[in-house]
Structure 1
Amino acid sequence: MMKILLAEDEKYDREIVKHIIKENFSDKLQVYEAKNGREAIEMSESIRPDIVIMDIKMPGIDGIQALKEISASLPNVYSIILTAYDYFDFAKEAVKINVKEYLLKPFAKEEIIEKVSIGIQFVKKEQNKRKSEIEDKEKIYTLLPVLENQLSDLIINDKLIGVDYGMYLQCLNMNFINSYAMVISIKDKYDYEDACRSEKDQIKMKIGDYIKEYINRKYKCIGNYMFYEELTYFIQIENEDTEDFKNLGIDLAFNLRREIKKRFNVSIRAGLGEIYNSVEHIVESYRQATKCLVYNSDNVNIIHINDIDENMLEEKIINHNDANINLNDVKDNKIKNVNKIKLKLFDDVKNYIKENIKTELELEKVASNFGLSVYYFSRTFKEVTGTNFSDYINKCRIDIAKELLSNGEMNVKEVCYKVGYNDPNYFSKVFKKYEGISPVNYKV
């Protein structure tokens, strides 16, 4: 049943109009009354009327002002002006607030019935129109995941040639300007390791949906993770005011990895392709991203295609550390000089780790701080130190923890936080792994 609000300060006129409406539309309209403009505004906020009959001349807030307020929150309300004044005086203001009809006093019963009937038909038509629009949107939203999967399938399998994909781009609101592929694999550890096949599928779908929702908070993207082992996303970042798209992608993957570990207790690896400016070429970014995941390592979890060109990286590390070294000279005596530079660089890395031992020392962030790729950094770090990055960090933290515990000035919990662990139980577990004794017993 529709709602009609009758705002009239003259009780006699209000009663007449109310009686006529109830007598002729009792099965269609529920009638509400207001004695002035203020009451009309307040009542409209709670009942949200479909039709308003408003007297123009009322004490306090007049009818025009009241309709302005009501229309601001209810733009589709059907408004009828009720007045004894010449309508022309209010025509301009009435047009601004989308008034549909007017009744001049003294009014005839038939005129009220006619105007209200027109209002009911108008509201009914608008309701049907909105219902149809909502149904159409629902159909589109139901269809969008299908279109998304189809388009990403075409890209993954390099089958765009000969396909009219304009409809896909239009419906998905994508143009693939400044776009790249991110391919993610779930590592077989933590909660994922002990799950059965069906549980793993469920975990993968939840993670896939979460990643897509997370990316879409800032960028446009389409994803495909239902029928493939890896989770693939094509990410469009054309509105970013930067040329450093590589680091944008690495930062996004880094944040995703952290959030997924926190929410699902699952570890992921991500491969990132280069930026391209058309849907036709994005398949190359996909190939690059999948190529990145071939470089399998427990310590390298985020890999950009530019980071696996070893010749480029070697040149980069040389230039980064000794501007006076000429690359051509290095090639003549390559092993000796490069090893010298590696040792010098990773002495700086070790100092950096000690100075920042209280912080979250992620491999990707430390590598980025020294301008190196994670793949090169991880490989060379182990070559220079004889251990992988995570073990080295833990060993440093445990060595510092031993010193603090021996001093006796801090309890175990305080030491735990001082050396960069957030969980005292995990700290105890790591401490015992390296020292064969718990930190509590070590302190004693």
Structure 2
Amino acid sequence: MYRLLMVDDEKIVIDSISFIIKNNFPNIIYESARSGKEAIEKASYFRPDIVLMDIRMPGLNGIDTIKELKVNFSETMFIVISAYEQFEFAKEALTLGVIDYILKPMNKNTLIASIEKAINKITKEREKRAKELENLEKFQTTLPLLEHNFLYSLIVDNKNFTITEEYKKLLNIDKLGGYLVAIDINSKDSNSISPSIYYSMRDLLKYKYKCLIGPLVLNRILILINSEPNSSTTDIGNYIIKNLSVLYSSISFKIGIGSYKPLEKIFISYEESLIALRSLSNSNESICHINNIENISVYSSDYPKDVEKKLIEFCTLGETDESLKYFNELFNWIQKNFNNNLMKAKTTLIELLVVLHKSLIDSNINIFYNNEYINSILELQNLNELELWFRDKISSSCVEIRKGHRKNISKIIINAKKYISDNYSLDITLDEIAKEACVSPHYFSRLFKEETGENFIDYLTRVRINKAKDLMQNSNISIKEICYKIGYNDPNYFSRLFKKVQKVSPTDYLKSIMIK
């Protein structure tokens, strides 16, 4: 729907324009004004999309009225009507962005064409704005996922760390470093730890800090504060607890804060934040900065990160034997270092659980651990129970992951076959269908061969030839037309393919059908 305001001091002109609009533009609602002053008053509540403005009126003339209206209605389209073909009027009207200049007496078709021109411009602007809003909404939906992946790559896969200018703009990163904040969320009622906490945390922190916020995994959220080396970190913990405690009175928070590090070494700040967090486990305090912990060296630990990485890699692939092999190596290290400290062993494995859970989520595998698993770990009585519990969960998870991979592969091939069936008449390429399946061409080609027993081109050819045979049997169109209908542009090439598959030329095949 469009709103149009007619401004002219002659009633007969208003009546004529009203009649034309009523009979030609059912999608326009209209108002009229007999002076510039009245036009400004009516526009304040009518908010016109189009204004038909007479130049010569008593009091405020048309040009001055347009100037006043443009202040508050910059997107309104103006069409000037004048009984005078004066160059100066036309020139000034054009400088104001007027889209048309119509001379009185008005021609009906000229007026209709001018209004249609204005409607087309408005429609295009509305579509453009709607597209911009749609893109903005998509971006706002995607942005948390980009943050999660980027933060995860800094912490877990830091050897492959890169940051492009595009990423800096997307994530609003303008500093070369920062510090990690790890927040544990605790509640007597585990159901009260809901996703809403993540969004509350996000709104709260984005308002005050330049930061990246990781997802809520189990009961922990990681935050990267993007800052200068000498920036203060003393207030962030108090700020979070003060504001979130008001929203979630039944929940308590423990906050560990690492030291400033360059982005490529932010994983060290992450490890520090976890150490600070662990120091609060038997304390009434809620906040700890790594600098407040005495006699601790972050670099003294020989924790086998490479073994952990291998464990995660093979578990994500669903490889049970390899996963257990690297878990055994990792657990041997835990036994050696924490043989007399069961809680430290549990904490280390819980942190492994979080990293593994995040890795599986990033790989679109959503069958892994939950809050009940954490409770189960805390109830275990010794290292033997701890080892057996983890071995069992890794083994059963690998089985489920393999099943998930198989289902996913089958779904990809089913969708690919449907796509070929629906689009065989088009110029389908392997790259195109791999893109539809959201996998690489090389991976798709291998999967297709494994699942169907034939390569992509042979399968597509068979579908097309079968369709050609069907057309020969059930239509009267020529072989040449059939060639074009099934996706080939060269009849000679089609004939060669047909003979290769059917051991007979299309012409001979057609003759055999006619004989029957």
Partner of 2:226: 236
Partner of 2:205: 215
User: Secondary structure, in 3 states, of the residue corresponding to 2:243?
Assistant: helix
Counterpart of 2:254, as a letter, is R
Q: Are the counterparts in 2 of residues 53 and 79 from structure 1 also a CA contact under 8 Å?
A: yes
**In structure 1, distance between residues paired with 2:238 and 2:81:** 64
**In structure 1, distance between residues paired with 2:31 and 2:243:** 52
Higher RCO by CA contacts (8 Å cutoff, separation 6 or greater): 1
Question: Which consecutive residues of structure 1, in runs of 5 or more, have no partner in the other structure?
Answer: 313-444
Partner of 1:301: 286
Counterpart of 1:128, as a letter, is E
Partner residue of 1:245 out of 228, 231, 234: 231
Partner of 1:16: 16
Equivalences for residues 356-371 of structure 1 within 5 A: none
Partner of 2:54: 55
**In structure 2, distance between residues paired with 1:59 and 1:289:** 75
Alpha-carbon shift at residue 97 of structure 1 (Å): 3.3
Partner of 1:28: 27
Partner of 1:138: 137
Residues 181 and 121 of structure 1: is their aligned pair in 2 closer, same or farther, counting only changes over 3 Å?
same
Q: Are the counterparts in 2 of residues 22 and 31 from structure 1 also a CA contact under 8 Å?
A: no
Partner of 1:374: none
Identity %: 31
Q: Which moved more, 1:166-175 or 1:132-141?
A: 166-175
C-alpha distance after superposition, 1:305-324 (max 9, x if no partner): 22224599xxxxxxxxxxxx
C-alpha distance after superposition, 1:335-390 (max 9, x if no partner): xxxxxxxxxxxxxxxxxxxxxxxxxxxxxxxxxxxxxxxxxxxxxxxxxxxxxxxx
Alpha-carbon shift at residue 160 of structure 1 (Å): 6.0
Residues 167 and 311 of structure 1: is their aligned pair in 2 closer, same or farther, counting only changes over 3 Å?
closer
**In structure 1, distance between residues paired with 2:86 and 2:176:** 55
Alpha-carbon shift at residue 2 of structure 1 (Å): 1.3
Partner of 1:121: 120
Partner of 1:281: 265
**In structure 2, distance between residues paired with 1:91 and 1:178:** 58
Alpha-carbon shift at residue 112 of structure 1 (Å): 0.9
What TM-score do the two structures reach when normalised by structure 2? 0.52
**In structure 2, distance between residues paired with 1:217 and 1:141:** 15
Number of paired residues? 295
Alpha-carbon shift at residue 114 of structure 1 (Å): 1.6
Partner of 1:154: 153
Residues 216 and 87 of structure 1: is their aligned pair in 2 closer, same or farther, counting only changes over 3 Å?
farther
Partner residue of 2:248 out of 264, 269, 277: 264
Q: Are the counterparts in 2 of residues 56 and 64 from structure 1 also a CA contact under 8 Å?
A: yes
Alpha-carbon shift at residue 293 of structure 1 (Å): 0.8
**In structure 2, distance between residues paired with 1:306 and 1:92:** 71
Question: Which consecutive residues of structure 2, in runs of 5 or more, have no partner in the other structure?
Answer: 298-516
Partner of 1:366: none
Counterpart of 1:98, as a letter, is G
C-alpha distance after superposition, 1:261-292 (max 9, x if no partner): 22211221212222345x32333322222221
Partner of 1:175: 174
Residues 16 and 221 of structure 1: is their aligned pair in 2 closer, same or farther, counting only changes over 3 Å?
same
User: Secondary structure, in 3 states, of the residue corresponding to 1:99?
Assistant: coil
**In structure 2, distance between residues paired with 1:216 and 1:226:** 16
**In structure 1, distance between residues paired with 2:192 and 2:276:** 23
What TM-score do the two structures reach when normalised by structure 1? 0.60
